[in-house]
């Protein structure tokens, strides 16, 4: 999506550890009209997929998931990053190593909010190694919910997460795909 690529080039900062910072419009301050346009694009891509629920992971996925959900007219469920490994029986859970923090979270979704009747769109801000999305998919699989696709704002394609998900048959649509970020220079995959 050209407007997103232009914004990344204008405001994105390549930080240490292969991290792209887009804090001025996605991850800390949110440019709502701009992010709404991304939400609308997810709707254009997935409007015929019968989606009745959007699933994301806290914290950064929530904003974009909610803005997209307005166009779909469906609820958003976000997986919580549990602070304890003391998991009760009424939740689905998966272990997700964090790309940015380096720790492992037990992510949880209450069983009431995800069922075998759900047709789910996964949404997240970034796709890197794929751990967050694979965790969300594992939770959907456990619930018997059908993953109809994944909408990603920025995929760092060279980190392989998108390949893993696509190999599992997930339709992944990324609005910007980064081919490389060497020496602070961002190159998009065309």
**How big is the chain, counted in residues?**
190
| Max intra-chain CA distance, the chain | 47
> Does 123 sit near ligand 5GP (CB under 6 A)?
no
Cα separation, 166 vs 16, in Å, equals 28
Least distance between ligand 5GP and beta carbon 140 (Å): 16
Choices 20-28, 33-41, 67-75, 102-110 (CB under 6 A): range interacting with ligand 5GP = 20-28
Strand order of the sheet with strand 76-82? 91-97, 104-110, 76-82, 53-57, 119-127, 146-156, 172-180, 187-188
Nearer to ligand 5GP, 28 or 44 (CB): 28
Nearest alpha carbon to residue 95 among 74, 164, 122, 103: 103
Choices 4-12, 64-72, 120-128, 140-148 (CB under 6 A): range interacting with ligand 5GP = 120-128
Nearer to ligand 5GP, 5 or 125 (CB): 125
Query: What does the binding site for ligand 5GP look like in residue numbers (CB under 6 A)?
Result: 19-21, 27, 57, 60, 99-100, 124-132, 161
């Amino acid at each position: 999506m050209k407007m997103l690529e232009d914004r990344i080039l204008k405001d994105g900062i390549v930080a240490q550890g292969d991290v792209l910072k887009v804090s001025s419009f996605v991850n800390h301050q949110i440019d709502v009209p701009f992010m709404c346009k991304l939400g609308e694009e997810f709707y254009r891509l997935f409007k015929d997929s019968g989606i009745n629920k959007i699933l994301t992971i806290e914290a950064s996925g929530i904003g974009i998931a909610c803005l997209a959900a307005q166009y779909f007219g469906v609820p958003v469920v976000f997986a919580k990053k549990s602070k304890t490994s003391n998991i009760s029986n009424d939740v689905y859970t998966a272990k997700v190593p964090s790309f940015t923090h380096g720790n492992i979270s037990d992510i949880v979704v209450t069983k009431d909010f995800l069922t075998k009747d759900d047709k789910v769109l996964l949404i997240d801000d970034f796709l890197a190694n794929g751990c967050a999305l694979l965790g969300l998919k594992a939770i959907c699989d456990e619930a018997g919910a059908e993953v109809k696709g994944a909408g990603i704002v920025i995929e760092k394609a060279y980190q392989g997460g998108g390949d893993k998900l696509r190999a599992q048959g997930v339709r992944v649509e990324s609005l910007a795909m980064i081919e490389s970020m060497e020496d602070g220079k961002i190159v998009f995959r065309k």
